[in-house]
Structure 1
Amino acid sequence: MPVTYDHWEHVEGPFFHGTKATLQVGDELVPGHGSNYQDGRVSNNIYFTAAVETAVWGAELATALAGTGERGRIYVVEPLGPFEDDPNVTDKRFPGNPTRSYRTRSPLRVVGELDDWQGHSPEVLQGMLDSLARLREQGLDVIED
Protein backbone atom coordinates (compact mmCIF):
# COMPACT_ATOMS: atom_id res chain seq x y z
CA MET A 1 0.00 0.00 0.00
CA PRO A 2 1.50 3.38 -0.94
CA VAL A 3 2.60 5.64 1.89
CA THR A 4 1.03 9.08 1.50
CA TYR A 5 0.71 12.21 3.61
CA ASP A 6 -2.77 10.96 4.50
CA HIS A 7 -1.73 7.36 5.19
CA TRP A 8 1.67 7.06 6.90
CA GLU A 9 1.14 6.29 10.61
CA HIS A 10 1.37 2.51 10.03
CA VAL A 11 5.01 2.68 8.86
CA GLU A 12 7.37 1.57 11.60
CA GLY A 13 11.00 2.52 12.08
CA PRO A 14 13.67 2.78 13.06
CA PHE A 15 14.37 5.39 10.41
CA PHE A 16 17.76 6.48 9.07
CA HIS A 17 19.23 9.46 7.21
CA GLY A 18 22.56 9.10 5.39
CA THR A 19 24.50 12.32 4.88
CA LYS A 20 27.84 14.11 4.82
CA ALA A 21 26.76 16.45 7.64
CA THR A 22 27.92 16.21 11.22
CA LEU A 23 24.91 16.40 13.52
CA GLN A 24 24.12 15.98 17.20
CA VAL A 25 21.31 14.17 18.99
CA GLY A 26 18.40 16.60 19.19
CA ASP A 27 19.27 18.44 15.96
CA GLU A 28 16.45 18.76 13.47
CA LEU A 29 16.82 18.33 9.73
CA VAL A 30 14.52 20.66 7.81
CA PRO A 31 13.86 21.28 4.12
CA GLY A 32 15.23 24.35 2.38
CA HIS A 33 18.93 23.45 2.29
CA GLY A 34 21.19 22.56 -0.62
CA SER A 35 20.80 19.12 -2.13
CA ASN A 36 23.55 16.56 -1.59
CA TYR A 37 23.02 15.33 -5.15
CA GLN A 38 22.66 18.37 -7.42
CA ASP A 39 24.73 21.53 -7.10
CA GLY A 40 22.68 24.69 -6.77
CA ARG A 41 19.45 22.85 -5.98
CA VAL A 42 17.55 23.61 -2.78
CA SER A 43 15.66 20.60 -1.50
CA ASN A 44 12.00 21.01 -0.60
CA ASN A 45 11.98 17.70 1.27
CA ILE A 46 14.06 15.74 3.73
CA TYR A 47 14.70 12.16 2.62
CA PHE A 48 15.00 9.17 4.93
CA THR A 49 14.62 5.40 4.95
CA ALA A 50 13.75 2.46 7.13
CA ALA A 51 16.54 0.38 5.50
CA VAL A 52 20.14 0.77 6.64
CA GLU A 53 21.46 -0.20 3.17
CA THR A 54 19.59 2.70 1.60
CA ALA A 55 21.03 5.08 4.20
CA VAL A 56 24.52 3.71 3.45
CA TRP A 57 24.08 4.74 -0.20
CA GLY A 58 22.90 8.17 0.91
CA ALA A 59 25.93 8.71 3.13
CA GLU A 60 28.43 7.39 0.58
CA LEU A 61 27.02 9.30 -2.38
CA ALA A 62 26.74 12.55 -0.41
CA THR A 63 30.42 12.46 0.58
CA ALA A 64 31.65 11.16 -2.79
CA LEU A 65 29.75 13.82 -4.74
CA ALA A 66 31.03 16.51 -2.35
CA GLY A 67 34.58 15.25 -2.92
CA THR A 68 35.37 15.31 0.80
CA GLY A 69 37.06 11.92 0.95
CA GLU A 70 35.46 11.49 4.37
CA ARG A 71 33.22 8.73 5.62
CA GLY A 72 29.54 9.71 5.59
CA ARG A 73 27.30 9.62 8.61
CA ILE A 74 24.12 7.67 9.26
CA TYR A 75 21.71 9.06 11.81
CA VAL A 76 18.73 7.45 13.44
CA VAL A 77 15.90 9.94 12.95
CA GLU A 78 12.35 10.49 14.07
CA PRO A 79 9.88 12.06 11.64
CA LEU A 80 8.02 14.93 13.33
CA GLY A 81 5.17 15.00 10.84
CA PRO A 82 3.59 13.12 7.97
CA PHE A 83 5.64 11.62 5.16
CA GLU A 84 5.22 9.82 1.84
CA ASP A 85 7.00 7.32 -0.38
CA ASP A 86 9.94 8.91 -2.20
CA PRO A 87 8.69 9.08 -5.81
CA ASN A 88 12.24 9.32 -7.11
CA VAL A 89 12.80 5.66 -6.36
CA THR A 90 9.36 4.13 -5.88
CA ASP A 91 7.86 5.33 -9.14
CA LYS A 92 11.01 5.26 -11.26
CA ARG A 93 13.11 2.33 -10.12
CA PHE A 94 11.59 0.21 -7.37
CA PRO A 95 7.79 -0.11 -7.50
CA GLY A 96 6.39 -1.09 -4.13
CA ASN A 97 9.19 0.74 -2.28
CA PRO A 98 11.50 -2.18 -1.33
CA THR A 99 14.15 0.43 -0.41
CA ARG A 100 11.70 1.79 2.21
CA SER A 101 12.55 5.33 1.08
CA TYR A 102 10.44 8.27 2.23
CA ARG A 103 10.39 12.04 2.15
CA THR A 104 8.83 14.73 4.32
CA ARG A 105 8.44 18.48 4.46
CA SER A 106 8.35 18.25 8.26
CA PRO A 107 11.49 18.12 10.38
CA LEU A 108 13.36 14.93 11.23
CA ARG A 109 14.84 14.85 14.74
CA VAL A 110 18.20 13.12 15.20
CA VAL A 111 17.83 10.57 18.00
CA GLY A 112 21.11 8.69 17.52
CA GLU A 113 23.92 7.76 15.18
CA LEU A 114 24.70 4.41 13.59
CA ASP A 115 28.46 3.93 13.79
CA ASP A 116 29.01 0.30 12.78
CA TRP A 117 27.74 0.36 9.20
CA GLN A 118 29.65 -1.20 6.32
CA GLY A 119 30.22 0.79 3.15
CA HIS A 120 30.49 -0.51 -0.38
CA SER A 121 33.77 -1.38 -2.04
CA PRO A 122 35.44 1.45 -3.97
CA GLU A 123 34.61 -0.36 -7.21
CA VAL A 124 30.89 -0.65 -6.42
CA LEU A 125 30.72 2.98 -5.29
CA GLN A 126 32.50 4.10 -8.48
CA GLY A 127 30.02 2.08 -10.53
CA MET A 128 27.14 3.96 -8.91
CA LEU A 129 28.88 7.32 -9.48
CA ASP A 130 29.47 6.40 -13.14
CA SER A 131 25.78 5.51 -13.48
CA LEU A 132 24.76 8.86 -12.02
CA ALA A 133 27.15 10.66 -14.37
CA ARG A 134 25.61 8.88 -17.36
CA LEU A 135 22.12 9.90 -16.23
CA ARG A 136 23.31 13.51 -15.93
CA GLU A 137 24.83 13.44 -19.41
CA GLN A 138 21.51 12.16 -20.79
CA GLY A 139 19.48 14.70 -18.82
CA LEU A 140 17.79 11.93 -16.90
CA ASP A 141 18.97 12.82 -13.38
CA VAL A 142 15.72 14.61 -12.63
CA ILE A 143 14.78 14.78 -8.96
CA GLU A 144 11.07 15.11 -8.29
CA ASP A 145 11.14 17.38 -5.26
Structure 2
Amino acid sequence: MEFNSNNHIVKRCLQGMVMEENGQPEEASKLFQQAWHEATNDFEKFLAAYYVARQQKNIADKLKWLETALGFALKINNDAVKSAFPALYLNIAQCYADLGEPEKAKQQDALATTFKDKPSDKGPFYHGTKADLQVGDLLTAGGSSNYQAELKMNHIYFTALVNGAGLAAALAKGDGRERVYMVEPTGRFENDPNVTDKKFPGNPTRSYRSEAPLKIVGEVTDWERQTPAEIQQWREKLANNKGEIIN
Protein backbone atom coordinates (compact mmCIF):
# COMPACT_ATOMS: atom_id res chain seq x y z
CA MET A 1 0.00 0.00 0.00
CA GLU A 2 1.77 3.11 -1.27
CA PHE A 3 1.08 6.84 -1.41
CA ASN A 4 0.48 8.03 -4.96
CA SER A 5 -0.28 11.62 -5.91
CA ASN A 6 -2.32 10.33 -8.87
CA ASN A 7 -4.61 8.33 -6.60
CA HIS A 8 -8.24 9.44 -6.93
CA ILE A 9 -8.79 9.84 -3.17
CA VAL A 10 -5.51 11.73 -2.72
CA LYS A 11 -6.60 14.10 -5.49
CA ARG A 12 -10.01 14.54 -3.84
CA CYS A 13 -8.33 15.43 -0.54
CA LEU A 14 -6.00 17.86 -2.30
CA GLN A 15 -9.03 19.55 -3.84
CA GLY A 16 -10.55 19.84 -0.36
CA MET A 17 -7.35 21.41 0.97
CA VAL A 18 -7.48 24.03 -1.77
CA MET A 19 -11.03 24.86 -0.69
CA GLU A 20 -9.81 25.19 2.92
CA GLU A 21 -7.03 27.55 1.83
CA ASN A 22 -9.55 29.60 -0.15
CA GLY A 23 -11.80 30.04 2.88
CA GLN A 24 -14.52 27.66 1.65
CA PRO A 25 -14.86 25.15 4.51
CA GLU A 26 -18.28 23.87 3.43
CA GLU A 27 -16.98 22.98 -0.03
CA ALA A 28 -13.91 21.39 1.57
CA SER A 29 -16.12 19.32 3.86
CA LYS A 30 -18.16 18.06 0.90
CA LEU A 31 -15.00 16.97 -0.92
CA PHE A 32 -13.62 15.17 2.14
CA GLN A 33 -16.95 13.41 2.71
CA GLN A 34 -16.97 12.44 -0.94
CA ALA A 35 -13.47 11.03 -0.56
CA TRP A 36 -14.64 8.99 2.43
CA HIS A 37 -17.58 7.49 0.52
CA GLU A 38 -15.40 6.74 -2.53
CA ALA A 39 -12.47 5.21 -0.59
CA THR A 40 -11.96 1.54 -1.40
CA ASN A 41 -9.01 0.45 0.78
CA ASP A 42 -7.69 1.03 4.30
CA PHE A 43 -5.13 3.65 3.28
CA GLU A 44 -7.69 5.71 1.37
CA LYS A 45 -10.13 5.43 4.29
CA PHE A 46 -7.40 6.51 6.73
CA LEU A 47 -6.67 9.64 4.68
CA ALA A 48 -10.30 10.54 4.06
CA ALA A 49 -11.31 10.09 7.73
CA TYR A 50 -8.40 12.28 8.82
CA TYR A 51 -9.62 15.14 6.63
CA VAL A 52 -13.27 14.68 7.55
CA ALA A 53 -12.14 15.04 11.19
CA ARG A 54 -10.52 18.40 10.43
CA GLN A 55 -13.85 19.85 9.38
CA GLN A 56 -15.81 18.82 12.48
CA LYS A 57 -16.94 21.70 14.72
CA ASN A 58 -18.18 19.36 17.46
CA ILE A 59 -15.31 17.92 19.53
CA ALA A 60 -17.00 14.55 20.01
CA ASP A 61 -17.51 14.23 16.26
CA LYS A 62 -13.91 15.22 15.62
CA LEU A 63 -12.74 12.59 18.10
CA LYS A 64 -14.89 9.93 16.41
CA TRP A 65 -13.36 10.63 13.01
CA LEU A 66 -9.81 10.83 14.35
CA GLU A 67 -10.25 7.46 16.05
CA THR A 68 -11.66 6.10 12.79
CA ALA A 69 -8.55 7.32 10.95
CA LEU A 70 -6.32 5.83 13.64
CA GLY A 71 -8.14 2.50 13.41
CA PHE A 72 -7.40 2.19 9.71
CA ALA A 73 -3.79 3.32 10.22
CA LEU A 74 -3.30 0.64 12.87
CA LYS A 75 -4.72 -1.98 10.49
CA ILE A 76 -2.18 -0.95 7.86
CA ASN A 77 0.71 -0.44 10.34
CA ASN A 78 3.42 0.00 7.73
CA ASP A 79 5.90 2.74 6.87
CA ALA A 80 3.28 4.64 4.85
CA VAL A 81 1.34 5.42 8.04
CA LYS A 82 3.62 4.92 11.06
CA SER A 83 4.90 8.49 10.82
CA ALA A 84 1.29 9.72 11.23
CA PHE A 85 0.81 8.09 14.64
CA PRO A 86 2.30 10.96 16.74
CA ALA A 87 0.01 13.57 15.14
CA LEU A 88 -3.03 11.30 15.38
CA TYR A 89 -2.47 10.50 19.05
CA LEU A 90 -1.76 14.16 19.89
CA ASN A 91 -4.94 15.32 18.14
CA ILE A 92 -6.94 12.65 19.95
CA ALA A 93 -5.33 13.71 23.23
CA GLN A 94 -6.39 17.31 22.60
CA CYS A 95 -9.96 16.17 21.97
CA TYR A 96 -10.05 14.30 25.29
CA ALA A 97 -8.59 17.33 27.05
CA ASP A 98 -11.26 19.57 25.52
CA LEU A 99 -13.92 17.07 26.60
CA GLY A 100 -12.69 17.23 30.20
CA GLU A 101 -11.13 13.75 30.28
CA PRO A 102 -7.52 14.44 31.38
CA GLU A 103 -6.60 10.81 32.10
CA LYS A 104 -7.50 9.70 28.59
CA ALA A 105 -5.67 12.73 27.20
CA LYS A 106 -2.58 11.74 29.19
CA GLN A 107 -2.72 8.19 27.82
CA GLN A 108 -2.88 9.46 24.24
CA ASP A 109 0.01 11.87 24.86
CA ALA A 110 2.08 8.95 26.13
CA LEU A 111 1.28 6.92 23.01
CA ALA A 112 2.34 9.85 20.81
CA THR A 113 5.67 9.99 22.64
CA THR A 114 6.38 6.30 21.99
CA PHE A 115 6.27 6.96 18.24
CA LYS A 116 8.43 10.10 18.31
CA ASP A 117 11.65 8.34 17.40
CA LYS A 118 13.85 8.07 14.36
CA PRO A 119 12.17 6.58 11.26
CA SER A 120 11.74 2.81 11.31
CA ASP A 121 11.81 2.60 7.51
CA LYS A 122 14.29 -0.03 6.26
CA GLY A 123 14.03 0.93 2.58
CA PRO A 124 15.17 0.21 -0.05
CA PHE A 125 15.90 3.90 -0.62
CA TYR A 126 16.21 5.96 -3.79
CA HIS A 127 17.57 9.31 -4.94
CA GLY A 128 16.52 11.01 -8.17
CA THR A 129 18.89 13.24 -10.13
CA LYS A 130 20.21 14.05 -13.60
CA ALA A 131 23.83 13.49 -12.54
CA ASP A 132 25.78 10.61 -14.10
CA LEU A 133 27.15 8.68 -11.10
CA GLN A 134 28.61 5.28 -10.38
CA VAL A 135 28.02 2.54 -7.81
CA GLY A 136 30.14 3.36 -4.79
CA ASP A 137 29.94 7.14 -5.26
CA LEU A 138 28.78 9.22 -2.30
CA LEU A 139 26.01 11.80 -2.46
CA THR A 140 26.71 14.58 0.03
CA ALA A 141 24.92 17.61 1.44
CA GLY A 142 25.83 21.11 0.30
CA GLY A 143 24.34 21.07 -3.18
CA SER A 144 22.02 23.76 -4.56
CA SER A 145 18.29 23.36 -3.99
CA ASN A 146 16.21 22.31 -6.99
CA TYR A 147 13.34 24.40 -5.66
CA GLN A 148 14.85 27.65 -4.36
CA ALA A 149 17.57 29.58 -6.14
CA GLU A 150 20.89 30.14 -4.35
CA LEU A 151 19.97 27.93 -1.38
CA LYS A 152 22.71 25.50 -0.35
CA MET A 153 21.19 22.41 1.23
CA ASN A 154 22.41 21.24 4.64
CA HIS A 155 21.07 17.72 4.03
CA ILE A 156 20.92 15.14 1.27
CA TYR A 157 17.37 13.97 0.52
CA PHE A 158 16.03 10.55 -0.46
CA THR A 159 12.85 8.49 -0.45
CA ALA A 160 11.66 4.90 -0.12
CA LEU A 161 9.25 5.38 -3.08
CA VAL A 162 10.89 4.79 -6.44
CA ASN A 163 8.21 6.85 -8.24
CA GLY A 164 8.89 9.76 -5.88
CA ALA A 165 12.58 9.57 -6.74
CA GLY A 166 11.63 9.48 -10.41
CA LEU A 167 9.64 12.69 -10.01
CA ALA A 168 12.61 14.30 -8.22
CA ALA A 169 14.83 13.27 -11.14
CA ALA A 170 12.43 14.85 -13.62
CA LEU A 171 12.41 18.11 -11.64
CA ALA A 172 16.16 18.16 -11.00
CA LYS A 173 18.37 20.75 -12.63
CA GLY A 174 20.66 19.75 -15.47
CA ASP A 175 20.49 18.51 -19.04
CA GLY A 176 21.33 14.86 -18.43
CA ARG A 177 18.85 12.03 -18.54
CA GLU A 178 16.71 11.28 -15.52
CA ARG A 179 18.36 8.77 -13.20
CA VAL A 180 17.15 7.00 -10.08
CA TYR A 181 19.85 5.50 -7.89
CA MET A 182 19.43 3.01 -5.07
CA VAL A 183 21.20 4.45 -2.04
CA GLU A 184 22.16 3.49 1.50
CA PRO A 185 22.36 6.08 4.29
CA THR A 186 25.79 6.07 5.96
CA GLY A 187 24.52 7.79 9.11
CA ARG A 188 21.45 8.88 11.00
CA PHE A 189 18.48 10.16 9.00
CA GLU A 190 15.15 11.83 9.79
CA ASN A 191 11.74 12.47 8.29
CA ASP A 192 11.86 15.35 5.82
CA PRO A 193 10.26 18.19 7.83
CA ASN A 194 9.28 19.97 4.63
CA VAL A 195 6.62 17.33 3.95
CA THR A 196 5.98 15.59 7.28
CA ASP A 197 2.63 16.64 8.80
CA LYS A 198 2.30 19.43 6.26
CA LYS A 199 -0.46 18.67 3.75
CA PHE A 200 -0.76 14.98 4.66
CA PRO A 201 -0.62 13.28 8.07
CA GLY A 202 2.83 11.98 8.88
CA ASN A 203 5.25 11.23 6.05
CA PRO A 204 3.31 9.09 3.55
CA THR A 205 5.77 9.92 0.75
CA ARG A 206 8.46 8.27 2.92
CA SER A 207 10.78 11.21 2.29
CA TYR A 208 13.92 11.51 4.41
CA ARG A 209 17.05 13.57 4.78
CA SER A 210 20.50 13.13 6.30
CA GLU A 211 23.58 15.20 7.00
CA ALA A 212 25.66 12.07 6.35
CA PRO A 213 26.42 10.94 2.80
CA LEU A 214 24.34 8.46 0.84
CA LYS A 215 26.20 5.63 -0.85
CA ILE A 216 25.05 4.64 -4.33
CA VAL A 217 24.51 0.89 -4.45
CA GLY A 218 22.66 0.53 -7.74
CA GLU A 219 20.49 2.14 -10.40
CA VAL A 220 16.89 1.44 -11.40
CA THR A 221 15.32 2.22 -14.76
CA ASP A 222 11.70 1.22 -14.19
CA TRP A 223 9.41 3.74 -12.52
CA GLU A 224 6.16 5.55 -13.29
CA ARG A 225 7.18 8.52 -15.42
CA GLN A 226 5.22 11.76 -15.47
CA THR A 227 4.05 13.27 -18.77
CA PRO A 228 5.60 16.59 -19.90
CA ALA A 229 2.32 18.31 -19.01
CA GLU A 230 2.36 16.82 -15.50
CA ILE A 231 5.99 17.86 -15.00
CA GLN A 232 5.10 21.39 -16.05
CA GLN A 233 2.24 21.42 -13.53
CA TRP A 234 4.68 20.35 -10.79
CA ARG A 235 7.12 23.10 -11.81
CA GLU A 236 4.34 25.68 -11.63
CA LYS A 237 3.26 24.42 -8.20
CA LEU A 238 6.81 24.70 -6.91
CA ALA A 239 7.26 28.16 -8.46
CA ASN A 240 4.07 29.36 -6.72
CA ASN A 241 4.95 27.79 -3.38
CA LYS A 242 5.52 30.62 -0.90
CA GLY A 243 6.51 28.36 1.98
CA GLU A 244 10.03 28.54 3.36
CA ILE A 245 12.24 25.47 2.94
CA ILE A 246 13.25 23.98 6.30
CA ASN A 247 16.97 23.56 5.79
TM-score in terms of structure 2 length: 0.51
Does the CA-based 8 Å contact 2:124-2:160 persist in structure 1?
yes
Q: Distance in 2 between matches of 1:31 and 1:14?
A: 20
Give the match for residue 128 of structure 2.
18
Deviating 4+ runs (over 3 angstroms): 1-6
Between Structure 1 and Structure 2, the one with more strand by share is 1
Give the match for residue 145 of structure 2.
35
Give the match for residue 193 of structure 2.
87
Give the match for residue 165 of structure 2.
55
Does the CA-based 8 Å contact 1:32-1:42 persist in structure 2?
yes
- In structure 2, which of residues 118, 130, 139 is the aligned counterpart of residue 7 of structure 1? 118
CA RMSD of aligned residues (A): 2.1
Residues 5/18 of structure 1: CA separation in 2 closer, same or farther (3 Å cut): farther
Q: Which has the higher contact order (CA 8 A, sep 6+)?
A: 1
What is the Cα deviation at residue 23 of structure 1?
0.9
Q: Distance in 1 between matches of 2:116 and 2:245?
A: 19
What is the Cα deviation at residue 141 of structure 1?
4.0
- In structure 1, which of residues 96, 111, 114 is the aligned counterpart of residue 220 of structure 2? 114
Residues 28/5 of structure 1: CA separation in 2 closer, same or farther (3 Å cut): farther
Q: Distance in 2 between matches of 1:53 and 1:81?
A: 24
- Higher Rg of the two aligned structures: 2
TM-score in terms of structure 1 length: 0.84
Does the CA-based 8 Å contact 1:76-1:114 persist in structure 2?
yes
Does the CA-based 8 Å contact 2:144-2:152 persist in structure 1?
yes
Does the CA-based 8 Å contact 1:6-1:82 persist in structure 2?
no
What is the Cα deviation at residue 43 of structure 1?
0.5
Which ranges in structure 1 are unaligned for 5 or more consecutive residues?
none
What is the one-letter code of the residue matched to 1:60? A
Q: Distance in 1 between matches of 2:116 and 2:187?
A: 9
Q: Deviations over 1:90-116 (max 9, x none)?
A: 132222111000000011000001122
What is the Cα deviation at residue 41 of structure 1?
1.1
What is the one-letter code of the residue matched to 2:228? P
SS at match of 1:89: coil
Residues 5/109 of structure 1: CA separation in 2 closer, same or farther (3 Å cut): farther
Q: Deviations over 1:45-91 (max 9, x none)?
A: 0000001121011101114xx4x3x4311000000011100011113
Between Structure 1 and Structure 2, the one with more helix by share is 2
Q: How many residues align?
A: 136
Q: Distance in 2 between matches of 1:107 and 1:89?
A: 21
Does the CA-based 8 Å contact 2:147-2:238 persist in structure 1?
no
Mapping 1:69-108, distance limit 5 Å: 70-108=176-214
Matched, 1:131 2:237: yes
Which stretch of structure 1 is more off in the superposition, 72-81 or 30-39? 30-39
What is the Cα deviation at residue 118 of structure 1?
3.3
